[in-house]
Amino acid sequence: MIKQVIPQEVCLKCQGCCRFKKIDSAWSPCLLDEEIQNFLDKKIPPACISSAKKILPISNPQGEGFICPFLDIKDNKCRIYGLRPFECQLYPFLINFRGKKVILTLDLNCPYVSGHLKDGDFKKYTDSLIAFLNSAAQIRILKDNPQIIQAYEDVLDVIELELQDEA
Ligand code: SF4
Ligand code: SF4
C-alpha cells in the first residue's frame, strides 16, 4: 500500500474522485495484471473490468455521469479500500507518458493539491514517493504493466522516472 498524503476526512467530504463524465473516461483507474487476478480471485465480477484493463464505471444512480462500481455513493467511501488499485492509491499523482519519457505528474484539479503544493510536508511526501517509484521492484511492476502509464492531460510534471535505467 502507498502511504496517503491527503487526510481521509478531506477526501470523504470531496467529490473529486471516483466519478467520471464518460463511461470510457481516461480517468477511470487502470489495473495492474496482478490486481485483475486478485479481483477475479476475490470474486469481483469481471464486468467491473474493461478490455483496456481499467475499472469500468457504471451510471451514477444519483445523477449525471458515471461512478466507480466500488464507490458507496451514500457515504462517499470505497467499498474495496484495502484492495483498491495502485492508481487509486497513487492519486493525485499519476504516471504519464511524454514521448519516450515516463513522468510522475500531479493533478492540480485535486483541491487539496492546489492548496498544499508548497507545504514542506507535501514536498517531503513527494520525495519519498519518487524514491519508492524508482525502486527496482516498482520499476519492474511498471515495466510489466505498460497499461498503467497513460497520457493524462493538464497535469503538472514533477519528475522523470528512471524506468529506462533498470537492467
Ligand atoms: S480530488 Fe483530491 S481531495 Fe478530492 S477526493 Fe480526490 S484525492 Fe481527495
Ligand atoms: S476503487 Fe475505490 S478508490 Fe478507486 S475509483 Fe473505485 S471507489 Fe474510488
- Identify whether residues 70 and 97 lie together within a single domain: no
User: With a 6 A CB cut-off, is 29 part of the ligand 2 pocket?
Assistant: yes
Instruction: Tell me which of 54, 87, 120 is where a domain ends.
Output: 87
Ligand nearest to the CA of 19: 2
Instruction: Give a yes or no: residue 13 inside a domain.
Output: no
- Over residues 144-152, mean pLDDT: 92
- Over residues 4-32, mean pLDDT: 95
Ligand 2 centroid from CA 167, angstroms? 33
In whole numbers, what is the pLDDT of the chain averaged over residues?
Answer: 93
pLDDT for 58 beyond 70: yes
- Identify whether residues 75 and 55 lie together within a single domain: yes
- Identify whether residues 23 and 80 lie together within a single domain: yes
User: With a 6 A CB cut-off, is 17 part of the ligand 2 pocket?
Assistant: yes
Instruction: Tell me which of 62, 87, 112 is where a domain ends.
Output: 87
User: Closest by alpha carbon to 157, among 108, 99, 122?
Assistant: 108
- Identify whether residues 155 and 112 lie together within a single domain: yes
Type and span of the H or E element at 38: helix 33-41
pLDDT for 54 beyond 60: yes
- Identify whether residues 50 and 102 lie together within a single domain: no
* Residue 125 to residue 131: CA distance in whole angstroms: 10
CA–chain centroid gap for 59, Å, is 20
110 φ, ψ (degrees, to nearest 5): -70, 120
- For residue range 62-78, list pLDDT tens digits in order: 989 999 999 999 999 99
Domain containing 29: what range?
A: 18-87
pLDDT at 166 (0 to 100): 46
- For residue range 111-135, list pLDDT tens digits in order: 999 899 999 999 999 999 999 999 9
Instruction: Give a yes or no: residue 12 inside a domain.
Output: no
- For residue range 80-93, list pLDDT tens digits in order: 999 999 999 999 99
